[in-house]
Amino acid sequence: MLVIEGKAKILVENAFYNPRMRFCRDLDMLVFSTIGKHEILDALSATGVRGIRAILEAGCEVKFNDADPKAVETIKKNLRLNEIEAEVFCSDASLLMRVKKFEHIDLDPFGSPGNFIESACVHAKLLSVTATDLEALCCKSSAGIRKYSAFVTKTDVPHEIGLRVLIGFIARTALRFDKAIYPLVAWVKEHYYRVHLRLKRSNSETTKTIEKLGYIAFCRSCFAKKILKFGECVEFCRCGKKMQIIGPLWIGELKDSEFVGKMISKAEGKHREFLLKIREEVEYPLAYSLPKICSVLSRSVPPTMEVVEKLRSRGFIASPAHYCGYCVKTDADLENIVDIIST
């Protein structure tokens, strides 16, 4: 079967192709072209759709790889079909990333990217990662420990936690190679998370990355949350219950606002709308689900923007979350949100 996606014509035989990821790949093209002309390894290529689009739409120089020889045949056919020439490897991605240097590595696996991150951190200066194993990132503690060496439990805002556990894992891995990380843009959509970030080798800058790692203390009775840096502790919530400690995770920024601004200037339609929501989000690692809080209070759920405005008028930073229409991101503590809902 032949599929047209963006400027690419793609044969989807003998290799995995997911049409539902088109929106993600559309946004990726904006990311790649905003970075400017550079070299990318599409480390888990399947049909090669992402890399081929990066060549045709973002002017990048792309190398392809897939461990499956059948997928490699399909990638080669697709390159010919689009009249482009590029190097194609048939290797285990982790081995390849260790022995060869690539400026930018794109990891778009099925399921967990966990096992590929370490090798990707050795040489790359830019890293793009997809994760579809959301349970391990945001709610299932045994899977979280196995895949990301982090404790997770289901909260009222699983995606805020999940995205931060993923970035936290990348940061902790990068730190082992004395590298600092700087997220360019990260998002949650449907069944996946996607993160684009810069890696920089610098001893002094690793300190900044370490400061952006920590934990979130969470109360499963009232949904209160508190950020904890390394070495800090909390035992009891103000409601009297014990808090659970989630993490380690990333408590730093999820985006570079200037970078997202440049992406927005190239974007149209639904992509632009989505990016505007991302830009509007406040840079604070805590979020709250209004319906969950209201169910504890037995109150009806107020409009999200009404709560956001009231928090702002009290001097807090607040915004909706791009991944959820009824979640609020804010530096206000739960008491303020409860007070606003109750009055």
Residues in touch with ligand SAH (CB under 6 A): 15-17, 21, 44-47, 49-50, 65-68, 71, 92-93, 108-110
The nearest distance, CB 97 to ligand SAH, in angstroms, is 9
The nearest distance, CB 59 to ligand SAH, in angstroms, is 19
Six-digit token string for 116? 């590929």
d(CA 134, CA 122): 25
Q: Which is nearer to ligand SAH, 26 or 108 (CB)?
A: 108
d(CA 197, CA 189): 18
The nearest distance, CB 112 to ligand SAH, in angstroms, is 11
d(CA 327, CA 340): 14
CA distances from 168 to 131, 145, 179, 193, 249 (A): 13, 13, 13, 13, 4
Answer for the pair 199, 171: CB distance below 8 angstroms, yes or no: no
Q: Which is nearer to ligand SAH, 92 or 205 (CB)?
A: 92
The nearest distance, CB 76 to ligand SAH, in angstroms, is 14
Q: Which is nearer to ligand SAH, 107 or 307 (CB)?
A: 107
Q: Which is nearer to ligand SAH, 68 or 253 (CB)?
A: 68
The nearest distance, CB 84 to ligand SAH, in angstroms, is 17
Q: Which is nearer to ligand SAH, 66 or 156 (CB)?
A: 66
Q: Which is nearer to ligand SAH, 50 or 226 (CB)?
A: 50
Answer for the pair 5, 237: CB distance below 8 angstroms, yes or no: no
The nearest distance, CB 221 to ligand SAH, in angstroms, is 41
CA distances from 221 to 15, 79, 292 (A): 46, 55, 10
Six-digit token string for 277? 């929501």
For residues 229, 230, 234 and 238, what is the CA-based torsion angle, rounded to 10 degrees?
10
| Dihedral sign computed on CA atoms, order 1, 129, 143, 216 | negative
Q: Which is nearer to ligand SAH, 42 or 156 (CB)?
A: 42
**String of b and e for 75-97 (b: at least 16 CB within 10 Å)?**
bebbbeebeeebebbbeebbebb
The nearest distance, CB 151 to ligand SAH, in angstroms, is 27
